[in-house]
Amino acid sequence: MTKKHRDAKPSKLGRNDPCFCGSGVKYKKCCLPQALQPPRPITGPPPAEVLEHMRQAETRRQELQSKGIYINLPNTITSKGKTIMAVGNAITWEEKENMTFHKLILRDLQRTLGKEWWDAETAKKPEERHFIRRCYDDINVQPTGDRQARYEGNGQWSHLPTGIEQTLMSLAFDVYLLTHKGYMPDDWLQRLRHSDEYQGVRYEIAVASLFVRMGCHLEFYDEKTTKTKHAEFRAVHTETGNTVVVEAKSRQRPGVINQPGEPNLRKAMLGDVTKLFNKALQKDDEGLPYFIFIDVNAPASIEVSTIETRWFADVRKMVEAGGKVTAENPQPYNTLFVTNYSPHYDGTEITASGQHMFVTSRFVKHPLKNGVDDVFLGKLQQAANGYGFVPPL
C-alpha cells in the first residue's frame, strides 16, 4: 500500500488509488464501476438497534463457547415464505417460514443420504431398515413423562429430547458441521449408508465434529499412498500451533444399533474396551501428539454420575494396568478420551446426557505446545462436555 493511499481520507480516494476493499486493484477497475463508495468515518454513538444486535451476538457467542463451539455458525433466514440455511458454499431451504434449525438439519441429513438410499430403505420391512431410517420412523413418538416444554419465542418450543431424537439430532448436527466446513469425505457418507459400517464411521464423524467445533482444520489420509497403520485424521489448530493425530473406535454390542443378536444390558454396562485400546496403540502417531477416542456404547442413567458407572471402573483398571507413567516411561498417547454417547438405548423415552472421562499425563511421548495446560486441550474438553447440544440457530 502506498503512502499516498495510507494517508488519504476515505472521501478523497482517487480513481487510480488502490481500492479501499483491499483487493490490490485500482479503485476505477474494482469497486468504482459498481458504484460502491469507500466507508466513511462513523460519528456519534451507534443506533440502539445496532447495539442490541451486538449484544445478542455476544450472548450467542458466549452460549456456544460454553458448549465447546468456538466457530461462527450462520443464522437461518426467513424470506418470502421460506426458511433458508447455509451449508458450506450452498444453501438449503424449506417452503415454510420460521422453521427451526433442528428440523432443517434433520431434513438436510435426509437429503445428504440421498433419495435413492432413502427410498430403498423405506421399501424394506420396518425391522430390516437401516438404524437411521428406523430412527426417522420413531422420532415423532410421544414419550411418557415430563418433557419440560419451554417457549422460545417466534412460535417455537423446546423440550427434553427422547433417545431417538437425541440420536438423530446429534448425527444431523455433526454431518451439518462437517459438510458446512468442507470435511465430509465421500467415503464417510458411503459407510454411513451401510448397516455394517455405520457404527464405526458414526463415531469417527462425532469425534471429527469435536475438533471442528474448536476451530481445527482436518487433514485426511490418502489410502492409496499411506502404507502404515494410520489413524482417522490429523487435526490442525492454528490458534495454538498444535497438530495432533486422532484415532476413534466404538464398542459394538449385540442387538444394539445395526448389530445382530439379542441385547444384553448387563454386559453392555461393562467398560470392556481393552482390545480396542490396544489396537489404537498400534497406529502410527507420526511423531505428533496422539489422541485416542473410544466409545463404550453403554446404557446411561440420569441418576448415576459418570464416576459411579461400571464402565468407568473398568476403564480405570485398564489404564492403571499400563503401569506408572514417568519421564523415563512416558505415556505413549497424549490423551485418552473414553465417551459414552449412547442415547439410542433410551429409544422413545427421555434420555440422559452424554458421559465421558479423559486420561492424560505431564509425561507423554509427544506433548502439546504448552503441555496439559495448553488451550487446545481445554477447548477439546469443553467440546466433549457439550457434545449433544444443538443450538437453536
CA 118 to chain centre: 24
Average pLDDT over residues 275-279: 97
Position 173 pLDDT exceeds 60: yes
Average pLDDT over residues 294-316: 92
Model pLDDT for residues 111-168, shown as the tens digit of each residue: 999 999 999 999 999 999 999 999 999 987 777 666 565 545 555 556 788 899 999 9
Backbone angles phi, psi at 89, to 5 degrees: -90, 5
Q: What's the confidence (pLDDT) of residue 15?
A: 75
Beta-strand pair 242-250/290-295: parallel
Closest CA to 310 of 351, 346, 354, 265: 265
Average pLDDT over residues 333-339: 96
Q: Could you tell me the pLDDT band of residue 7, with boundaries at 50, 70 and 90?
A: very low
Q: In whole numbers, what is the pLDDT of the chain averaged over residues?
A: 88
Annotate 230-243 with b (16+ C-beta within 10 A) or e (fewer): bbbbbbbbeebebb
Q: Which residue has the cell 447455509?
A: 86
Q: Could you tell me the pLDDT band of residue 89, with boundaries at 50, 70 and 90?
A: confident
How far is it, in rounded angstroms, from Cα 191 to Cα 203?
A: 12
Position 36 pLDDT exceeds 70: no
Average pLDDT over residues 224-231: 83
Q: What's the confidence (pLDDT) of residue 334?
A: 95
Position 182 pLDDT exceeds 90: yes
Q: Which residue has the cell 447440544?
A: 389
Average pLDDT over residues 168-185: 96
| Among the ranges given (206-210, 256-260, 299-303), the one the predictor scored with the smallest mean pLDDT | 299-303
Q: What's the confidence (pLDDT) of residue 46?
A: 79
| Among the ranges given (71-75, 115-119, 174-178), the one the predictor scored with the smallest mean pLDDT | 71-75
| Among the ranges given (4-13, 66-75, 95-104, 269-278), the one the predictor scored with the smallest mean pLDDT | 4-13
Between residues 132 and 22, which one has the greater pLDDT? 132
Model pLDDT for residues 189-201, shown as the tens digit of each residue: 999 999 999 999 9
Cα 214–179–380 angle (5° rounding)? 15
Model pLDDT for residues 247-271, shown as the tens digit of each residue: 999 999 999 999 999 999 999 999 9
Beta-strand pair 335-340/290-295: parallel
* Contacts of residue 34, Cβ cutoff 8 Å, sequence gap at least 6: none
H or E element at residue 360: strand 355-360
Taken in order 172, 173, 174, 180, the sign of the CA dihedral is positive
Parse the chain into domains and list their residue ranges.
Answer: 3-34, 197-385
pTM value is: 0.84
Average pLDDT over residues 365-386: 93
Q: Could you tell me the pLDDT band of residue 4, with boundaries at 50, 70 and 90?
A: very low
Position 233 pLDDT exceeds 60: yes
How far is it, in rounded angstroms, from Cα 352 to Cα 215?
A: 27
Asked if 71 and 210 touch (Cβ cutoff 8 Å), the reply is: no
Number of H helices, E strands in the chain: 12, 11
Q: Could you tell me the pLDDT band of residue 64, with boundaries at 50, 70 and 90?
A: very high
Q: Which residue has the cell 476505477?
A: 28
For the chain, percent of residues with pLDDT exceeding 90: 62
